[in-house]
Amino acid sequence: MKLLEIKDLYTIAEDDREKEILKGLNLEINEGEIHVIMGPNGGGKSTLANSIFNSPKYIKTNGKVILEGVDITNKRTDEIARLGVFMSFQSPISIPGITLAHFLKTTKKSITGENPSIATFYKEVGEAMENLDMDNKYTSREFNVGFSGGEQKKNEILQMLILNPKLAILDETDSGLDVDAIKTVSKGINLYKNEKNGVLIITHSTKILEGLDVDKVHVLVNGKIVESGDISLANKIDKEGYSKYLK
C-alpha cells in the first residue's frame, strides 16, 4: 500500500519567490520501505523534507503531497505531525526550561490524545535509551541544552522510537557524527522500522545506510529526481560523486 505520494511538486522559497527550488518532483514510498535521497548541496533535499511538512519557509506552487490517501498538501504542520509524520533536523533546537521527559510525554499525548501511563512510559523510554546508549539521566535534563551534537541526534532518534510515526523523515541526521554514533542511529532506524511504516533518509554519506535494508535510492539535482535505483546507486555516487548529473 502507498504510504506517501508526491505528485509534480513545485516549490519556491518564502523569502525569495523568484527562485524555484523543487521543479516537478515525483516520489512514491510504500509501506515497509526505506528510501534514500542523495544529491549535491542546493539541489532541494531539505526543501523536499520541509515541503512535506508544509513549512512556512516554503510555498508550494503546484503539485500534491498525499499520506495514506489523505491530501496533506496544505494542512498545518501540527496536523501533519498528528497524522503520523515525523522529521529529524540537521540542527536540532534546544528548549530551556523543558525537560526531555516532559517534552516526550507532552508530544506523545498531543499525538495520541491520551495521557500515557507513567510506569509504561518510563519503561518504554528507558528501553529505547538503553538501545541508543543514552544515559537515563538525560530524561531530567533540559531538552537538548548542553547536549553534544551526537547526543542531540540520538535524542531525535529517541523521539522517533517513542512517537512511532507512520513516516519518519531523517534530514541529514548523520551529519557531523562519528562512526559509532552513526551505527547507533542506524540501529535506531532498524528498531523503528516495520512492515507498516516508512523511512525517508536524506544524506550525503553511505555510512548511515550500512546495516539498513534500503529499498530505493534517489538522486535529487536541481529540484528533480534524476535517477533512482537500489543501494548500488548510493555506492556508485560515494565513489564517483555527482559530476555526471551536473553537466
pLDDT tens digits, residue range 136-178?
999 999 999 999 888 999 999 999 999 999 999 999 888 888 8
**At residue 247, does pLDDT exceed 80?**
no
At 36 the three-state DSSP class reads strand
**77 domain-assigned:** no
Specify whether the CB–CB gap between 147 and 177 falls below 8 A. Answer: no
Give the chain's end-to-end CA distance (angstroms, integer).
Answer: 37
Confidence of residue 18 (pLDDT cuts 50, 70, 90): confident
What residues contact 115, with CB distance under 8 A and at least 6 apart?
A: 105, 109
Residue 4 lies in a domain: no
Query: 3 in a domain, yes or no?
Result: no
7 lies in some domain: no
β partners of residue 201: 36, 170
Q: Is the pLDDT of residue 92 over 80?
A: yes
CA 129 to chain centre: 19
In a domain, 96, yes or no: yes
Instruction: Tell me whether residue 108 is in a domain.
Output: yes
Reported pTM: 0.94
Residue 76 lies in a domain: no
- Average pLDDT value over all residues in the chain: 94
Number of structural domains (the chain) is 1
Q: Say which CATH number the domain at 240 has.
A: 3.40.50.300
Range of the domain at 175: 33-57+83-245
Report residue 189's pLDDT band, with 50, 70 and 90 as the boundaries. very high
Q: What is the mean pLDDT of residues 31-53?
A: 95
